[in-house]
Amino acid sequence: MGFLTRFGRTFCLMALAVWLTTAQAGDGPIKITWWHAMAGANAKELNHLVDEFNQSQSKYQIDAVYKGDYTQTLTSAIAAFRAHRQPDILQVFEVGTGTMINAKNAIVPVYKLMADHHVGFDPNGFIPAIKGYYTDTDGQMLSMPFNSSTPVLYYNRDEFKKAGLDPDKPPQTWKEMGTDAKKLRDAGVNCGFTTGWQSWIQIENFAAWHNLPLATEQDGFGGTGARLLINKKPFVEHIAQVAQWSKNHEFRYGGRKDNPASLFYSGECAMLFESTGLYGSVKANAQNFKFGVGRLPLDTRIARHPQNTIIGGASLWVLKGKPDSHYKGIAEFFKFLSQPRQQAEWSRATGYLPVTNAAYQRLKKAGFYAENPGAEVAIKELTLHKPTANSKGLRMGNYSQIRDIINEELEAVWSGKKDAQQALDAAVKRGNKQLEKFQAAQS
């Protein structure tokens, strides 16, 4: 009962906060609110971009408001939308895309916004693997790509040397991953490798990298009838192999999301699968050792060549229900954000990928990648080949819940409660229930 009381209290506080942030003061520039989920170094850079836009013109003023992590930001926006106090712009993580696309009453598609306000805007300037994640079935852009990341392998060069491995050659295949991890263990390193975001990296990106379908209906792009395929042999063998390695700490589980990164920072684990968006933090935290960045290993039994990775991160959605005068300002702001200079600056400071080709070229010309070869690994993975139906991304409803289900089932494998086949069968069964539920709610 106390919980409900808290529910109500939070709701009212939220409404009050929303009212305070959206209340407008007479004349002056038109205020446009942007709710985001960027903290730390990323928030600093984001505010820098906003300041730059605000100073570049006097008609609009962007108010960037930090709303907690991705989940909290989305939930606050939903509560605010229902109370008619929503922000103009909302940053939503990639797995929330399915939810946003289907919230037709709440969103203004970006292609429509840009067309209505005649700001020069070229959707084809975006890197295809990034743009593809946020377009509808006709290729029209629904949200504005902002911070995109993709997984890479960070490794400890010092420990590689100690174990007699070549610090310029991170493992290229999963087989090498096993032998390298074993050598590292034999040399006295506490653990071979660990992984952040296990569902995103070891399942979703594993599928794209090996050109395997993750779900039917082109990983969900074809319709809400999609069902998961992650209990097929390649996935089961992969997870079973990693579980086998965990017995001798060649692999060690370090928790969900970014939590395992601390095992890498402390030198306990010699290798870490993580997002390129963490590049800045890795650089700041890896103070006692030199680190390198490698691409994801390939399982040569499944594919002879890697395909391409898929993105994570977030995009910007425009919400309905604001005065007409706001939308022109939002369009101007989006145009500003997609300029090569802003994009390059954002990418350089945060480690997120440059989302347009022009920004990538600009960074390249400026010699950024020559100085930071690690930063280029990610964009090369993403643009390795033209995306296929299996590597364009995924679009499924209730996907945050499905990720939690996958997390739970994988944890059951790491703790030895289930074998890989049992866990992935259960993940498919439970995940498909979520997909059925979403499908039913749409029809």
Partner 1 sequence: MIERRAVFSHRWLPIALVAPQLAVTAVFFLWPAYETVVSAFYVQGAFGGSEHFVGLHNFTALWDNASYLHSFGITLIFSAATTLLALSVSLLLAVNANRALRGAKVYQALLAWPYAVAPAIAGVLWLFMLNPSVGLLARALDGLGVPWDFRVNGTQAMVLVVMASAWRQIAYNFLFFLAALQSVPSSLIEAAAIDGAGPIRRFWTIVFPLLSPTTFFLLVIDLVYSFFETFGVIDTVTQGGPANATNILVYQVFETGFVGLDLGGSAAQSVVLMLFIIGLTVLQFRFIEGRVRY
Q: Which is nearer to partner 1, 126 or 399 (CB)?
A: 399
Q: Which is nearer to partner 1, 350 or 434 (CB)?
A: 434
15 touches partner 1 (CB under 8 A): no
Site for partner 1 in 48-107 (CB under 8 A): 71-72, 74-75, 78, 81-82, 99, 102-106
CB of 364 to partner 1, least distance (A): 37
Amino acid at 329: G
Residue 182 found at the interface with partner 1 (CB under 8 A): no
By the rule CB under 8 A, 137 interacts with partner 1: no
124, 244, 259, 288: residue in contact with partner 1 (rule CB under 8 A): 259
**Does residue 13 interact with partner 1 by CB under 8 A?**
no
Q: Which stretch binds partner 1 (CB under 8 A): 139-147, 202-210, 289-297, 394-402?
A: 394-402
Binding characters for partner 1, 303-342, by CB under 8 A (x = yes): ----------------------------------------
Residue 295, C-beta contacts closer than 8 angstroms, at least 6 positions apart:
152, 153, 170, 172, 306, 377, 380, 381
> Residues with Cβ < 8 Å from 177, sequence gap 6 or more?
171, 193, 271, 297
Taking CB under 8 A as the criterion, the residue among 258, 404, 419, 425 binding partner 1 is 404
Let me know if 112 is exposed, middle or buried by CB neighbors in 10 A (0-12, 13-18, 19+). Answer: middle
CA atoms of 317 and 41, how far apart (whole Å):
22
Least distance from C-beta 180 to partner 1, angstroms? Answer: 21
Stretch binding partner 1 (CB under 8 A), from 148-156, 179-187, 251-259, 364-372? 251-259
3-state secondary structure of 314: strand
Residue with Cβ nearer partner 1 (78 or 187): 78
Q: Which is nearer to partner 1, 23 or 440 (CB)?
A: 440
11 lies in the binding site for partner 1 (CB under 8 A): yes
Sign of CA dihedral 67, 49, 285, 250: positive
Burial class (CB in 10 A: 0-12, 13-18, 19+), 195: buried
Q: 376 or 408, CB closer to partner 1?
A: 408
Number of residues that bind partner 1 (CB under 8 A): 51
CA 221 from chain centre, in angstroms, equals: 18
- Residue 164 near partner 1 by CB under 8 A: no
Contacts for 323 with CB less than 8 Å, ≥ 6 apart: none
Residue with Cβ nearer partner 1 (45 or 88): 88
Cβ 213 to partner 1, closest distance in Å?
A: 24
User: Quick one: 127 or 261, whose CB is closer to partner 1?
Assistant: 261
182 phi, psi to nearest 5 deg = -65, -45
Closer residue to partner 1 (CB): 300 or 400: 400
Shortest Å distance, C-beta 103 to partner 1: 4
Residue 439 engages partner 1 in binding (rule: CB under 8 A): no
Tokens (6 digits) for 420 = 């890989």
The two beta strands, 269-275 and 191-195, are parallel
**Closest CB to partner 1 among residues 72, 179:** 72
Tell me whether residue 198 or residue 338 sits nearer to partner 1 (CB atom): 198
Classified as helix, coil or strand, 429 is: helix
What is the enclosing helix (H) or strand (E) of 207?
Answer: helix 206-209
Is residue 274 within 8 Å of 261, Cβ to Cβ? yes
Residue choice 216, 285, 400, 439 for contact with partner 1 (CB under 8 A) = 400
Q: Judged by CB under 8 A, which of 31, 117, 256, 380 binds partner 1? A: 256
Token reading at 197: 């975001």
Residue 398 contacts residue 237 (beta carbons within 8 Å): no
Rounded distance between C-alpha atoms, residue 432 and residue 31, angstroms: 43
Map residue 434 onto helix, strand or coil. Answer: helix
Query: Within positions 407 to 436, which residues make up the interface with partner 1, using CB under 8 A?
Result: 407-409, 411-412, 414-415, 417, 430, 433-434
User: Which CB sits closer to partner 1, 162 or 430?
Assistant: 430
Report phi then psi at 210, rounded to 5. -100, 10
Cα–chain center distance at 209 = 16
Beta strand pairing call for 107-108 and 312-319? antiparallel
User: For residue 303, what are the contacts with CB-CB under 8 A and spacing of at least 6?
Assistant: 209, 210, 211
Identify which of residues 90 and 181 has a Cβ nearer to partner 1 in the complex.
Answer: 90
- The contact mask relative to partner 1 for 32-51 (x = CB under 8 A, - = no) is --------------------
Note whether 32 and 62 are within 8 A (CB): yes
Positions that interact with partner 1 (CB under 8 A): 1-9, 11-12, 71-72, 74-75, 78, 81-82, 99, 102-106, 253-256, 259, 262-263, 266, 268, 398, 400-401, 404, 407-409, 411-412, 414-415, 417, 430, 433-434, 437, 440-441
